[in-house]
Amino acid sequence: MTELASLYGGITTRRVTVRDLQLAKDRGERWAMTTSYDMLTAALFDEAGIPVLLVGDSAGNNVLGYETTVPVTLEEMVPLVRAVARSTSRSLVVGDLPFGSYQGSPEQALSSAVRFMQVGAQAVKLEGGRRVLPQVELLVESGVPVMGHLGLTPQSVNTLGGYRVQGRGDQGDRLIQDALALQDAGAFAVVLEVVPGDLAERVTKELAIPTIGIGAGAGCDAQVLVWTDLAGLTPGPGPKFLKRYADLRTVLGEAVREYADDVREGRYPAPEHGYS
Ligand code: KIV
């Protein structure tokens, strides 16, 4: 196996770095990223060999009970980033800068990113293209690796008018220019969310840095899915791009119902669960 045991399909003893991800792109190797917001899933995904864990602001709709990611604050994200960083030893941990924590100025972005780095993140993610270049430049100059995020950027749901496919028609060229600008500013990777597959493929070919797709087809260097979606914990069919790899919603629902029945019927606790 090569660098970091091929993004740790094999045994590794250190954390994945942004350099490993670049080398993977150079070798044409694909990899998977997922989200994590807590100790148990972080440790499990780290052990399962997921090279990059995103402490996404999707915590808003998956942990904190908001309808969108817009209300999520830096104060709410910091403990989640700390928990995931503490519980992993190999996955690269990326903290997702929430809405309002970086758009104000490059200095605001740096102060927010420092909060994540000081609780154990190895990189941060922020949404937007050319409008956030000064932020990306200052972060990278200051030693903070930055992951960009283009296409459907959920923090802009109110200006985008909903969760719609982005990058169709003329928007496609603008998205490519944004991706190139992020790369020039020093970003180490770019998420492409819900854009046509042929556009994502073009961006992936034009960029030297890795692209990470979500609803962007198979032409990206890497893929990301929100863990509660891929594990089937979130309700409903979900978006078209989603593949559910398990049905945790049914499994957990049945488990708690059976537990409650057992308690009601006096089957739990049984003698073997007691202490003499
Ligand atoms: O917050 C998040 O989970 C994300 C991914 C969907 C890329 O930004």
Note whether residue 264 is domain-resident: no
Q: State the distance from the centre of ligand 1 to the C-alpha of 143, rounded, in angstroms.
A: 23
Full residue range of the structural domain in which residue 13 is found: 3-230
* H or E segment and range at residue 34: strand 31-35
Digit-coded pLDDT (tens) for 81-107: 999 999 999 999 999 999 999 999 999
| pTM of full prediction above 0.85 | yes
Assess whether the C-beta atom of 204 lies below 6 angstroms from ligand 1. no
Digit-coded pLDDT (tens) for 111-137: 999 999 999 999 999 999 999 999 999
Note whether residue 172 is domain-resident: yes
pLDDT score, position 162:
86
Note whether residue 33 is domain-resident: yes
pLDDT score, position 11:
64
Note whether residue 238 is domain-resident: no
Whether residue 161 is predicted with pLDDT greater than 90 in this model: the reply is no
Q: Tokens 């840095």 appear where? A: 209
Note whether residue 171 is domain-resident: yes
- Structurally, the chain folds into a number of domains equal to 1
Q: Average of pLDDT values for 177-196?
A: 98
Note whether residue 247 is domain-resident: no
Percent of the chain as helix, strand, coil, to the nearest 5: 45, 15, 40
pLDDT score, position 1:
57
Assess whether the C-beta atom of 210 lies below 6 angstroms from ligand 1. no
The CATH number given to whatever domain includes residue 128 is: 3.20.20.60
Note whether residue 271 is domain-resident: no
